[in-house]
């Protein structure tokens, strides 16, 4: 679940901003900006977690407002989103507040046999991984799978440039790895394996129609 989807649920259930401000111990103005369609402010990871906990009714709050919410969201789990775009060409430095998104529990625990902490979400920027991944896609990355014994796409922290990237990775001789784009207009690079930290392998993605 994205920030926009969470905001839509809050609107559908007519949750007042003043009640959220009391729950999160922030000003109503900050709540309004986070709920704005223009996205002038993002929910922080802590705020997202508190809202999710209330929706799940799994935590006690010392100052719990009377929010008009009847349904439970236990069918979702919260997964961290890297705070800036991961480049499929150019990258993101990862600065900013951490944000969470809700992912179906059936996908995480049932299909992928993992826990929410095993995964991270990355928003893709650029066209270098087309046609596999497009600009604006959101990738669910399995951080348990960091070995390119089986070549394929990986989310990577590029230490040389200090940014996240999504590239195809394969092992080559001499303790090196080859990183290359799916889009043939971009040139491949070869680096020593210790120069690049693999975050994990994309296992699922969402795409806006």
- Domains of the chain listed by start with CATH number: 3-56 (1.10.260), 77-206 (2.10.109.10)
Assess contact for 200 and 155: CB atoms under 8 A: yes
Compute the average pLDDT of residues 1-7.
74
Question: What are residue 108's phi and psi, to 5 degrees?
Answer: -65, -55
> Is the pLDDT at 69 greater than 50, yes or no?
no
> Is the pLDDT at 165 greater than 50, yes or no?
yes
> Is the pLDDT at 184 greater than 90, yes or no?
yes
Q: How far apart are CA 166 and CA 69, in angstroms?
A: 39
82-121 pLDDT per residue, tens: 755 555 554 554 445 567 788 888 999 999 999 988 999 9
Assess contact for 35 and 48: CB atoms under 8 A: no
Overall pTM surpassing 0.85 (yes/no): no
Q: Is 6 exposed, middle or buried (0-12, 13-18, 19+ CB in 10 A)?
A: buried
pLDDT for residue 46: 74
- Is pLDDT larger for residue 54 or for residue 168? 168
């Amino acid at each position: 679940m994205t920030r926009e989807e969470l905001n839509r649920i809050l609107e559908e259930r007519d949750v007042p901003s003043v009640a959220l401000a009391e729950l999160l111990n922030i000003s109503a103005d900050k709540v309004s900006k986070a709920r704005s369609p223009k996205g002038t402010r993002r929910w922080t990871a802590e705020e997202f977690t508190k809202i999710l906990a209330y929706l799940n009714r799994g935590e006690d709050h010392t100052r719990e407002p009377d929010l008009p919410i009847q349904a439970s969201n236990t069918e979702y789990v919260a997964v961290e989103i890297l705070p800036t775009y991961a480049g499929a060409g150019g990258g993101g430095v990862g600065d900013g507040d951490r944000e969470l998104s809700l992912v179906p529990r059936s996908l995480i625990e049932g299909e992928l046999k993992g826990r929410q902490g095993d995964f991270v979400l990355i928003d893709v920027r650029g066209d270098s991984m087309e046609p596999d991944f497009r600009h604006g896609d959101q990738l669910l990355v399995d951080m348990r799978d960091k070995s390119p014994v089986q070549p394929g796409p990986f989310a990577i922290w590029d230490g040389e440039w200090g940014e996240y990237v999504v590239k195809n990775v394969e092992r080559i001789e001499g303790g090196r790895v080859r990183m290359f784009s799916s889009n043939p207009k971009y040139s491949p690079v070869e680096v020593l394996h210790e120069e690049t930290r693999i975050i994990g392998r994309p296992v699922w993605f969402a795409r806006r129609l």
